[in-house]
Amino acid sequence: MNLYDLSMETAHLLLKKKEISSKELVTAVLDRTESLNETIGAYITLCRDTALQQAQLADKEIAAGNISPVTGIPLAIKDNICTQDIKTTCGSKILENFIPQYNATVMDKLAKAGAVMVGKTNMDEFAMGSSTETSALETTRNPWDLERIPGGSSGGSAAAVSADICLGALGSDTGGSIRQPASHCGVVGLKPTYGRVSRYGLVAFASSLDQIGPITKTVMDSALLLNTISGHDPKDSTSVPRDVPDYALSCTPGIKGMTVGIPKEYFATQGVDGEVLTAINNAIATVERLGGECVDISLPHTDYAVAAYYVIAPAEASSNLARYDGVKYGLRKENAANLMEMYQQTRSTGFGAEVKRRILLGTFSLSAGYYDAYYGKASQVRTLIRNDFLDAFKKCDVILSPVAPTPAFKLGEKINDPLTMYLSDIFTLSANLAGIPGLSIPCGFSKRGLPIGLQLLGNFFEEETLLKVAYNIEQEIDLGSAKPAL
């Protein structure tokens, strides 16, 4: 048994029985990380010293009988989640040397529960991208095929989980950035309902869409991490005051009588790979074998989701990223003649092409004369997209669909064609527009051996239903103990 192979759940049981120590577990993960990270490029910052200190602390707590499901468990954290005294770069030159003076709320919660942080993971710059290629700092490779992208924007976190160089991870999802890389890397990813998890200390991209969530090896592990990070936070005015159930209780057998909606528009979308459809159809057959009832549903505004999203997300981004002005933190270009030049030079040097593109698009759609035609219109269409889901959930408990139209594409394949790249988010970003939870689990492999994921979407705060269905599919679809050959 290699300790780094373990799920969080199994590692927790061994820690609890004192068959292993957190120090042993964390050391095994750190050693593997140091030998593999150059190849995979999952981490921007490795935290060996602090991780070992946290492991020691965890072992003391465990010895004293204080153990939570994440105590002593080595986790990877996306580099847009603020970590006190540890660099948080957002994959951008403008924040390359930024050291937060405070923790994101999720980090305080993980620390309180005794978790260990292995390091900070690579991502598309400011989470803007679907392949992790827009990172200004590093290239992340898919552990299943090093010539391919890991997905994005949480590509570093998904690759780290897949390569067993952490036991679980946090990502963030604004249009699919947890679910799509999880799918491409053959792991589980969960975007919670908007407001379920505090966004305090998550570097803002599109504030009405962003949500932090787990990326893990198993459905149960996602439930355990969600238990730890969920809940109301007075520091985030959009976090919802609502009790947190024990999500682990949802991971039990039995989905007989549950209804699973199959959205006809998702299956009529052009450009969906045949192997993806085969894997999804197998999953639908699996659901039926388990006693679930699959019903056809319609989400009539599906074709407009990408267009609405690429108005709303850039509009919010252009406002949020106005804060990078070279004054309070981050990069500053020196020797500017005046303040205006300093702003311009700092921002032009510090941001990469994708971030600039979205700032320009967002500024355009919010500018005088265009606001109603673009931002106003897109916000109305957003209402229609949400209503589609509310109507659909009158007929089904969950919605099942592909996560992405194709398995992981090659590095460089789409990077020069932004619109094609944006269209690869077609199945995931509606959930962010609506605010509902979504989960991605592996359901098969392509002939080339690339993982294929399926997506489950649930009604507001129905994470338990998602986890329940996902757990049952996971147990039934035996993908063996397939691991990337590294």
Partner 1 sequence: MTITKDDVKYVANLARLTLDESSIDMFADQMAKIIDYVDTLNQIDTTGVAPMANAVSLNNAFREDNNTPHLDREKTLANAPDKEDGFFIVPKVIG
- For the segment 349-368, give every residue that binds partner 1 (CB under 8 A): 351, 353, 356-357, 359-361, 363-365, 367
Residue 200 interacting with partner 1 (CB under 8 A)? no
Q: Which residue has the tokens 């527009």?
A: 433
Phi, psi of 355 (to 5 degrees): -65, -45
Minimal distance in Å, beta carbon 187 to partner 1? 25
Query: In this structure, how many other beta carbons lie within 10 angstroms of the beta carbon of residue 344?
Result: 13
Total binding residues toward partner 1, as defined by CB under 8 A: 71
Selected from 61, 204, 293, 329, the binder of partner 1 by CB under 8 A is 329
Nearer to partner 1 among residue 58 and residue 82 (C-beta): 82
Question: Restricting to residues 225-244, which ones interact with partner 1 according to CB under 8 A?
Answer: 234, 237-238, 240
Residue 340 interacting with partner 1 (CB under 8 A)? yes
Minimal distance in Å, beta carbon 256 to partner 1? 32
Q: Is the dihedral of CA 192, 195, 200, 202 positive or negative?
A: positive
User: Is 453 in contact with 470 (CB distance < 8 Å)?
Assistant: no
Phi, psi of 190 (to 5 degrees): -130, 120
Minimal distance in Å, beta carbon 181 to partner 1? 22
- Can you list the alpha helix ranges (DSSP code H) found in 17-104? 22-40, 48-63
Query: In this structure, how many other beta carbons lie within 10 angstroms of the beta carbon of residue 431?
Result: 28
Selected from 16, 23, 93, 377, the binder of partner 1 by CB under 8 A is 377
Give, in order, the Cα–Cα distances in Å from 449 to each of 36, 56, 184, 402, 407: 20, 39, 11, 17, 10
22-31 burial code (b ≥16 CB/10 A, e <16) = bbbbbbbbbe
Residue 379 interacting with partner 1 (CB under 8 A)? yes
Residue 339 interacting with partner 1 (CB under 8 A)? yes
Q: Which residues contact 374 (CB under 8 A, 6 or more apart)?
A: 311, 315, 364, 365, 366
Catalytic member of 131, 135, 177, 239: 177
Minimal distance in Å, beta carbon 325 to partner 1? 8
**Pairwise CA distance, residues 226 & 220, whole Å:** 10
Residue 278 interacting with partner 1 (CB under 8 A)? no
**Pairwise CA distance, residues 151 & 411, whole Å:** 10
Minimal distance in Å, beta carbon 232 to partner 1? 10
DSSP state of 374: I
Q: Which residues contact 338 (CB under 8 A, 6 or more apart)?
A: none
Question: Restricting to residues 453-472, which ones interact with partner 1 according to CB under 8 A?
Answer: 460
Mask of contacts with partner 1, 129-158, x by CB under 8 A?
------------------------------
Annotation marks residue 424 as catalytic? no
Residue 268 interacting with partner 1 (CB under 8 A)? no
User: Is 208 in contact with 187 (CB distance < 8 Å)?
Assistant: no
Selected from 2, 274, 289, 338, the binder of partner 1 by CB under 8 A is 338
Residue 328 interacting with partner 1 (CB under 8 A)? yes
Distance of CA 157 to the CA centre of its chain: 8
Nearer to partner 1 among residue 249 and residue 353 (C-beta): 353
Minimal distance in Å, beta carbon 92 to partner 1? 14
Annotation marks residue 153 as catalytic? yes
Mask of contacts with partner 1, 416-445, x by CB under 8 A?
--xx--x-----------xx----------
In sequence order, the β-bridge partners of residue 212 are 172
Residue 204 interacting with partner 1 (CB under 8 A)? no
Selected from 156, 326, 407, 453, the binder of partner 1 by CB under 8 A is 326
Q: Is the dihedral of CA 167, 171, 176, 177 positive or negative?
A: negative
The interface region with partner 1, picked from 4-12, 108-116, 331-339, 392-400 by CB under 8 A, is 331-339
Mask of contacts with partner 1, 12-31, x by CB under 8 A?
--------------------
Question: Restricting to residues 284-303, which ones interact with partner 1 according to CB under 8 A?
Answer: 301, 303
Query: In this structure, how many other beta carbons lie within 10 angstroms of the beta carbon of residue 480?
Result: 6
Catalytic member of 130, 131, 153, 183: 153
Catalytic member of 21, 22, 68, 78: 78
Annotation marks residue 130 as catalytic? no
Nearer to partner 1 among residue 70 and residue 311 (C-beta): 311
In the sheet with 43-46, reading across from the earlier edge strand, the strands are 43-46, 116-121, 74-78, 168-173, 211-216, 188-191, 438-445, 451-458, 398-402, 259-263, 293-297
How far apart are the two ends of the chain, measured CA to CA in Å? 17
Mask of contacts with partner 1, 153-182, x by CB under 8 A?
------------------------------
Catalytic residue numbers read 78, 153, 177
